[in-house]
Amino acid sequence: MSEESEVLKLERQLCFPLYTASRLTTQCYQPILQELNLTYPQYLVMLVLWEKNNLSLSDIAQKLFLQSNTLTPLLKRMEELGLLTRTRSKQDERSICISLTETGEKLKIQAEQVPSRLTQQISLTRDEAIQLHTLLYKLIQG
Amino acid sequence: MSEESEVLKLERQLCFPLYTASRLTTQCYQPILQELNLTYPQYLVMLVLWEKNNLSLSDIAQKLFLQSNTLTPLLKRMEELGLLTRTRSKQDERSICISLTETGEKLKIQAEQVPSRLTQQISLTRDEAIQLHTLLYKLIQG
DNA sequence: TACATTTACATCGTACACGATATAATTGTA
DNA sequence: TACAATTATATCGTGTACGATGTAAATGTA
């Protein structure tokens, strides 16, 4: 009934396993992050800020490949959770400075266990994970 | 100021490049799919149905690793677009049968050019793409 | 055959993503 | 210095994702 069209087969697309692997991996994080009361995108913001505190929205946006339309409400929710503060920069009134609160800083200690707990759930060898990591960054930066 | 915590560095995580590669790849599709008046998840549903028509919602759900909470509204929108019909199955009144309309079938012809147009934009060699494909499926199926 | 269990969808609420657009501050330039 | 262009963030609307829950049909079982 359906014509042969190899190029349109779902399993042949690169996009589909990317989309699915991303979603399923995020789902693996969910129960772990729930203990920290964080969503996955919120966790990413925390990773950025734990590495370097007091960044502007655009700094975070650049690191996460996101924009203000996604980040503004995300950061507002995180402010309401008491994880960070959003203050207008003195040097440039357009810019806002995102700073971790003490609560936000302290959450890092609990978060230290997250990566290893996730690695345990993943069905890739260490070498495969490295290989995948390399290929994904090549795709992203291309 | 921020303590050294190698395990929590953003660039070390596997999840982040997965999430980003998925989003950026979807963004590559967007202008191409706009010509077909499809969103990316809608395109995935079409890929499934072009391969095999007259599937139940749960068949599609299984292939795309989605559930009714996502698929029901998605399929309703596609029905409104005139791409498919949703009819209760006679054999099992709980099940709905998703069938392509003629419009939906015909869209396949236009879609044939999508994969190659995307491949051109991707910064991976053929071998790397195959390698990535294999690793992602291993991750998904694990 | 009653009835508990399972299955297939649907609905609801929350939180992203993201294109389009708005707004105010800063910068470049005639 | 006026004023156009740029930049940083915010807002809005639409469309996913997905956990939790609801509902009705089908199935298993005593």
Nucleotides of D under 7 A from a protein CB: 7-13, 15-21, 24-27
Q: Rounded to an integer, what distance in angstroms lies between the CA atom of residue B60 and that of residue B45?
A: 7
- To which H or E segment does residue A106 belong? helix A102-111
As to burial, measured by CB atoms within 10 angstroms (0-12 exposed, 13-18 middle, 19+ buried), residue A9 is middle
| Architecture of domain A11-141 in this structure | Orthogonal Bundle (1.10)
The answer to whether B14 contacts chain A (CB < 8 Å) is yes
Those residues whose C-beta lies under 8 Å from the C-beta of residue B114, and which sit 6 or more positions away, are: A8, B29, B32, B33, B36, B43
Strand D contact at CB of residue A92, distance < 7 A: yes
**Residue A64 — φ and ψ, nearest 5°?**
-100, 0
pLDDT tens track for B73-109: 999 999 999 999 999 999 999 999 999 999 999 999 9
pLDDT tens track for B36-72: 999 999 999 999 999 999 999 999 999 999 999 999 9
Is ipTM over 0.90? Answer: yes
Q: Rounded to an integer, what distance in angstroms lies between the CA atom of residue A60 and that of residue A64?
A: 6
Q: Number of helices and strands (H, E) in chain A?
A: 7, 3
Those residues whose C-beta lies under 8 Å from the C-beta of residue A17, and which sit 6 or more positions away, are: B133, B136, B137, B140
- Closest alpha carbon to A83 in A107, A48, A112, A67: A107
Contact A135 B139 (CB under 8 A): no
Residue A137 has pLDDT above 70, yes or no: yes
Q: What angle do CA B2, B4, B7 make, to 5 degrees?
A: 120
* Count of Cβ atoms closer than 10 Å to residue A130 Cβ: 12
What's the distance, CA A29 to chain centroid?
11
Q: Rounded to an integer, what distance in angstroms lies between the CA atom of residue B39 and that of residue B17?
A: 22
The pLDDT assigned to B43 comes to 98
The CATH fold assigned to B14-116 is: Arc Repressor Mutant, subunit A (1.10.10)
The answer to whether A125 contacts chain B (CB < 8 Å) is no
Amino acid identity, position B88:
R
